[in-house]
Amino acid sequence: MILGGSGWDDAARAAFAEFAHRTGVPVACAFRRAGLFDNRDPLYAGMLGVGSDPALGRRVRDADLLLAIGTRLADVTTNGYRLVEAPRPRQRLVHAHADPAELGRVYTADLAINASPRYLAPALATLEPVDGARWSGWAQEAQRDYRAQLQPTLPGGALDLAAVVRHLSQRLPDDAIMTNGAGNFAAWLHRFFEVKGRDTQLAPTSGAMGYGLPAAVAAKLRYPERSVIAFVGDGDFMMTSHELATAVQYGAAIVVIIVNNGMLATIRMHQERAYPGRVIGTDLRNPDFVALARAYGAQGTLVERTGLFAPALDRALEADGPYVLELRVDPENISTRATISELRRQATA
């Protein structure tokens, strides 16, 4: 099952979880919709999108039946329409969507259902349970794959970003709101953070940089009682860094975590893949982010070692105004699954 789109509420989310457990079928979430199913649930198989687990992609591609609820099954979720081919998927497809124009527009479904998740999920929850014994082992394998990818596969360096995100996942309350913009830094959030609740993830589906900070300000003003964390890259942050002034002006006590590797890592990654060692226009000469935060009237701390992150986060969460944590990370670790050196070796092999 693949969940996505809009039109969900807490009742629909709970009803769908009940339906999933009546069938025992693994559940994946579309890009930016990981909050539709508790990531700690034993049936959760992962998020489909940028930085998702290749094992999950293979599982979707090899499935004999897909139940796509609310999602358009768009480009990012389907890895460029390679996991679910258009117009006629290899898998049997049940496609439910609130917009009748979406049904049949890209995919020819075996069964098309014109319904919003808000109305469909409660109806599904009333169906008789299905004996899932035939695929229970497969579902358990999907869960093991998901749990395995929560463990880092690369050395983290002095400041292990995977360990940082795992600590965030375990330390923050279930209703904490995480925001982010676009860049390779976000892959650590996609891979290592377990989303617990609906509407706890604010991030662009269009890949726009600079979204995370203003989104965090808006979220904190709307929900002042909830923890709000902006997880941003250095280049991403610089797109909208002046919004710190807005946060200070309106007393939005957000925590801004800046992943500073001194480069535009997504573009650098593509440069290294296509033209190894020929780097142009991706190095950044950043300001002192802690000093910048203080200039705006916020507080800030520089973190350069993994062990210093947890106490710094505690101070930031207890602050009565915006707080910036600058994380200095090793630029060699350009993604969660590869280093710059490995990309160069692969490109020249």
CATH number at residue 268: 3.40.50.970
Could you tell me if 222 and 316 lie in one domain? yes
Cβ atoms of 185 and 233 within 8 Å: the answer is: yes
Nearby residues of 74 by Cβ (< 8 Å), 6 or more positions away = 30, 31
Residue that finishes a domain, picked among 90, 118, 149: 149
Could you tell me if 86 and 166 lie in one domain? no
Q: Specify which residues 324 forms β-bridges with.
A: 256, 300
Could you tell me if 124 and 215 lie in one domain? no
> What's the distance, Cα to Cα, between the start and end of the chain in Å?
38
Could you tell me if 192 and 68 lie in one domain? no
Look at residue 236 and tell me if it is in a domain. yes
Secondary structure (3-state) at 196: coil
Residue that finishes a domain, picked among 92, 118, 149: 149
Q: What is the pLDDT of residues 60-88, one digit of tens each?
A: 999 999 999 999 999 999 999 999 999 99
Cis bond before residue 214 (omega within 30° of 0): no
Distance CA 326, CA 306 (A): 12
Give the count of domains, the chain: 2
Which residues of the chain are under the pLDDT cut of 70? none
Secondary structure (3-state) at 19: helix
Q: Specify which residues 47 forms β-bridges with.
A: 29
Look at residue 154 and tell me if it is in a domain. no
Look at residue 155 and tell me if it is in a domain. no
In 3D space, the residue among 154, 159, 152, 202 whose CA is nearest the CA of residue 177 turns out to be: 202
User: Domain with 115 in it: what CATH number?
Assistant: 3.40.50.1220
Q: What is the pLDDT of residues 233-268, one digit of tens each?
A: 999 999 999 999 999 999 999 999 999 999 999 999
Distance CA 68, CA 25 (A): 12
Q: For residue 231, report the phi and psi dihedrals to the nearest 5 degrees.
A: -105, 105
Could you tell me if 178 and 326 lie in one domain? yes
Could you tell me if 27 and 72 lie in one domain? yes
How high is the pLDDT of residue 155? 83
Could you tell me if 310 and 340 lie in one domain? yes
How high is the pLDDT of residue 349? 82
Look at residue 88 and tell me if it is in a domain. yes
Look at residue 44 and tell me if it is in a domain. yes
How high is the pLDDT of residue 153? 83
How high is the pLDDT of residue 206? 81
Nearby residues of 45 by Cβ (< 8 Å), 6 or more positions away = 26, 27, 28, 56, 59, 142, 143, 145, 146
Could you tell me if 143 and 38 lie in one domain? yes
Look at residue 185 and tell me if it is in a domain. yes
How high is the pLDDT of residue 138? 93
Could you tell me if 193 and 169 lie in one domain? yes
Could you tell me if 219 and 126 lie in one domain? no
Burial class for 49, CB neighbours closer than 10 Å (0-12, 13-18, 19+) = buried
Structure tokens at 40: 């700690």
Could you tell me if 216 and 314 lie in one domain? yes
Look at residue 156 and tell me if it is in a domain. no
Domain of 31 in residue numbering reads as 2-149
How high is the pLDDT of residue 205? 87
Could you tell me if 279 and 179 lie in one domain? yes
Look at residue 298 and tell me if it is in a domain. yes
Residue that finishes a domain, picked among 98, 117, 149: 149
